[in-house]
Amino acid sequence: MRILLTGSSGWLGRYLAPMLRRQGHEVVGLDVTPGDDTQVTGSVADLATVERAFSVGGIDAVVHAAALHKPDIARHPTQAFIDVNVTGTLNLLRTAVSAGVSRFVFTSTTSLMISQAIRDEASSAAAWLDEASGPLAPRNIYGVTKLAAEGLCRIFHLEHGLPCIVLRTSRFFPEDDDTLTEPSGENLKANELLHRRLTVEDAACAHVLALDQAPAVGFEVLVISAPPPFARAEAGAIKHDAKAVIRRLFPDAEALFSARGWELPKRIGRVYDPSRAERVIGFRAETDFAVVLDALRAGQPLPFAHDPTYVSPLERRRATSVERDVGVT
Ligand SMILES: NC(=O)c1ccc[n+]([C@@H]2O[C@H](COP(=O)([O-])OP(=O)(O)OC[C@H]3O[C@@H](n4cnc5c(N)ncnc54)[C@H](O)[C@@H]3O)[C@@H](O)[C@H]2O)c1
């Protein structure tokens, strides 16, 4: 297939574009910042740019991953989130329908399931989050606009029959968390693979499977994350004393962690459950917490990317233009 991939210069795009090509697809990349896999440079918020991307002809499928995301809240106004995440998605859906594409995959986020109450973790049990969770009350403009974009995907499926899969993806970024500083970056990522993270390779793989399955599936919203080792019945136990549950499941985990100066999490306040994605599109992340422990046991490199220096392409471009404006070279 000839696939239009938005966000092709980004962290996900740089893994997904080569993966799609290895599957025999042709990729047309669209991004507001230049990159090796980006042929069309411009904003998805600009309908003319989207139409220019489709004008190459023969686009069979769209993967829409371009977005302003959570760290961008500090750098961009609310209106920019509406323009990029909502209008941008509408531009792509409209043009995709006019072009008669056979499928549309939208990269959404588990973050839109996190209300202020879930974030505050005041409950006595971990919040168990899957596609049935609700009512949804996203706590910031990122979540609000991603939820709106999901709604647009839904109505384009209903009104135009466009096969569409929405992937509510958990964290896969390589940089440090923008709010948490403890524990250290690698330790935090390893801990998060228990309940709220996956590798970028697994995230890319979910997109490939969604593309394959969309025409048969019709419309779906799917949570995409590494499979948690806990059962839903343990939501209370992991909130009360996560270490005790982890020790039971992985008896050598604590020793392996201490040898590296790492700490297991004391409490876990939320779990993303990706089991529906496995049933519907056959997606199961390859890298989970057990794979991290295997690597630690074998003294092998960690099976996930960690790069505290990573800066998103859009932010790099913005920072460069600010420096230029204030005369820093
Ligand atoms: N990184 C994560 O942990 C994570 C978690 C959940 C969901 N997501 C979603 O995954 C997708 C990809 O994220 P990423 O981690 O690759 O981020 P990224 O910032 O590395 O890449 C996003 C890309 O989108 C591009 N972009 C931004 N505004 C644009 C516009 N107006 N028009 C065209 N391109 C534009 C940027 O230039 C960038 O290359 C996003 O939709 C994000 O919301 C990411």
pLDDT, mean of each 10-residue run, the chain (329 residues):
98 98 98 97 98 97 97 94 98 98 98 95 95 96 98 98 98 90 92 98 98 98 98 97 98 98 97 98 98 98 95 85 55
Residue nearest to atom 7 of ligand 1 (CA): 109
Q: Give the CB-side neighbour count of residue 162, counting CA atoms within 13 A.
A: 28
Please report whether residue 326 resides in a domain: no
Please report whether residue 328 resides in a domain: no
Q: Which domain holds residue 81?
A: 2-317
70 alpha carbon – ligand 1 mean position (Å): 10
8 alpha carbon – ligand 1 mean position (Å): 9
Any idea what the CATH number is for the domain that residue 16 is in?
A: 3.40.50.720
Please report whether residue 323 resides in a domain: no
Whole-angstrom distance between the N-terminal and C-terminal Cα of the chain?
43
Which residues share a beta bridge with 41? 31
Burial of 217 by CB count in 10 Å (0-12 exposed, 13-18 middle, 19+ buried)? middle
DSSP state of 8: T
- The pLDDT assigned to 329 comes to 39
Give CA–CA dist 216/163, Å, rounded: 8
- The pLDDT assigned to 179 comes to 81
Please report whether residue 113 resides in a domain: yes
Pocket of ligand 1 (CB under 6 A): 6-7, 9-13, 31-33, 43-45, 65-69, 84, 88, 107, 109, 169, 171-173, 312-314
Q: Which two tokens stand for residue 159?
A: 């009104």
Position in ligand 1 atom list of the atom nearest CA 317: 37
- The pLDDT assigned to 324 comes to 61
Give CA–CA dist 58/108, Å, rounded: 25
Position in ligand 1 atom list of the atom nearest CA 64: 41
Give CA–CA dist 156/254, Å, rounded: 49
Burial of 100 by CB count in 10 Å (0-12 exposed, 13-18 middle, 19+ buried)? exposed
Q: Which of 8, 69, 222 to mutate to test the pocket of ligand 1 (most atoms within 8 A of CB)?
A: 69
Burial 39-73 (b: 16+ CB within 10 A, else e): bbbebbbebebbeebbeeeebbbbbbbbbbbbbbb
Please report whether residue 322 resides in a domain: no
| Cβ 146 vs Cβ 112: under 8 Å | yes
65 alpha carbon – ligand 1 mean position (Å): 6
CA distances from 235 to 59, 116, 126, 241 (A): 44, 19, 5, 10
**Could you identify the residue written with the tokens 């000839």?**
2
265 alpha carbon – ligand 1 mean position (Å): 28
Q: Which of 144, 169, 315 to mutate to test the pocket of ligand 1 (most atoms within 8 A of CB)?
A: 169
39 alpha carbon – ligand 1 mean position (Å): 17
Position in ligand 1 atom list of the atom nearest CA 38: 39
Residue nearest to atom 26 of ligand 1 (CA): 66
Residue nearest to atom 13 of ligand 1 (CA): 12
- The pLDDT assigned to 328 comes to 46
Q: Who's near 41: CB < 8 A, 6+ residues apart?
A: 30, 31, 32, 33, 34
Residue nearest to atom 5 of ligand 1 (CA): 171
Q: How many domains does the chain have?
A: 1
Position in ligand 1 atom list of the atom nearest CA 171: 3
- The pLDDT assigned to 221 comes to 98
| Cβ 116 vs Cβ 71: under 8 Å | no
